[in-house]
Amino acid sequence: MYSEKFLLVLASVLICNALALESLDNEWKLWQSNYGKKYSTPREEEYRRKIWESNWHMVTEHNQQANQGNATYRMKMNHFADKSEKELAKASCFRLPTPEERNLQSYREVNYGELPPSVDWREENCVTGVKNQGSFCGSCWAFATVGTIESRYCIKSGKLIEFSEQQLVDCDHSNFGCCGGFPLSAFEYAVQYGLMKSSNYKYKGHGTECRYKERLVMSLNSSKFYDLSGEENMASALAIDGPMSVAFAVAFPFYFYSEGIFDGWCAGGLNHAMLAVGYGVENHEQYWIVKNSWGDSWGDDGYVKIRRNVNQCMIGMMASAADLM
């Protein structure tokens, strides 16, 4: 009798395991199809599948915690899901400046009055669509710089124009192209030489020979370019003057962010640049609205809300902007 019960339990376990494996197989194939993932050999596919499964368990467990109210954000299996933590940690695209390169500006010394409780420059139609720097080019600094200029040019002129990130990657020799850069140096280049439209200098996702054409450049008149520290300082600048580049210490969980207010763990140092376009409050929790450059399939249609006024992942340490005239 006991042996029959044991066999029934064993059969049930085996059936459940088989169904779970079949379900995971289906999810793997669907994910491959959704993101166009193909591998050169069966061995490579097996290797990527093991990483994918490990990340799937991480995402599933985290979302279970979110469902129970123990996490403020959710994760999803996106185009990074077949990459290991070690691989993604090598993807740093932010160059730390020397002390001489910093040009700190304070907004605290000027009385601007009470700031609005929330700001979102997308509502003013002065933020371009989400872009994708690609998997093989550490050009986040160029996207954050160009995003700042696009928005602030729009705020001053009423015209939303897409400028060229590729020009910065190829031609700004104070930075290192696909190997990283510092937005403040890129602002200095853009103000000195101007920027071409992206339609005239399209993004390639890798470095190429500089194809700068002065006759196609739009000149940028700037009263100053500077970097900021301190989240109150940043909020003042953002509310009054417009979006700005922000530096961030990205760690593994951030790559899988889906929605909610991110307050996950962080890297030990700044390694990524993005564009802050606003701030707000949700359930008494303050947050930044930030546009990333990992495509619109990442995050919340390419955006992330980041916990504000706690220096989450060092976001309050090094913002950069240029005041256009």
CB atoms within 10 A of CB 255: 20
The angle subtended at Cα 293 by Cα 287 and Cα 297, nearest 5°, is: 85
Shared-domain flag, residues 117 and 184: yes
The answer as to whether 80 is a domain residue is no
**One domain for residues 43 and 89:** no
Predicted confidence (pLDDT) per residue in 198-235, tens digit? 999 999 999 999 999 999 999 999 888 888 889 999 99
Q: Rounded to whole angstroms, what are the CA distances from 76 to 55, 61, 63, 145, 266?
A: 10, 11, 9, 28, 18
Last residue of a domain, one of 42, 75, 108: 75
| 325 alpha-carbon distance from chain centroid | 28
Residues 118, 168: one domain?
Answer: yes
Q: Is the same domain home to 299 and 266? A: yes
Q: What is the pLDDT of residues 80-132, one digit of tens each?
A: 999 999 999 888 888 887 777 766 565 555 555 688 999 999 999 999 999 99
Same domain, 186 and 275: yes
Average pLDDT over residues 34-55: 97
What angle do the packed helices 42-67 and 2-35 form, to 10 degrees? 100
The residues assigned a catalytic role are: 140, 272, 292
**Same domain, yes or no, for 49 and 164?**
no
Same domain? For 108 and 45 the reply is no
The answer to whether position 258 is within a domain reads yes
pTM for the predicted model, two decimal places? 0.91
The closest alpha carbon to 155, from 281, 241, 253, belongs to 241
**What does the pLDDT look like over 230-289, one tens digit per residue?**
999 999 999 999 999 999 999 999 999 999 999 999 999 999 999 999 999 999 999 999
Q: Kindly state whether residues 113 and 206 are assigned to the same domain.
A: yes
Output the six-digit token pair for 264: 């996950």
- What pairing do the DSSP bridges indicate for beta strands 319-324 and 222-228? antiparallel
Q: What is the DSSP string of 50-118?
A: HHHHHHHHHHHHHHHHHHTTS-SEEE---TTTTS-HHHHHT---BPPPPGGG--B--STTS---SPPS-
Beta bridge partners of 261: 305
Residue where one domain finishes, among candidates 75, 102, 129: 75
User: Residue 131 is part of which domain span?
Assistant: 85-324
Rounded Cα distance between 102 and 288, Å, is 23
Question: Half-sphere exposure (CA, 13 Å, Cβ side) for 63?
Answer: 14
Q: How many domains, the chain? A: 2
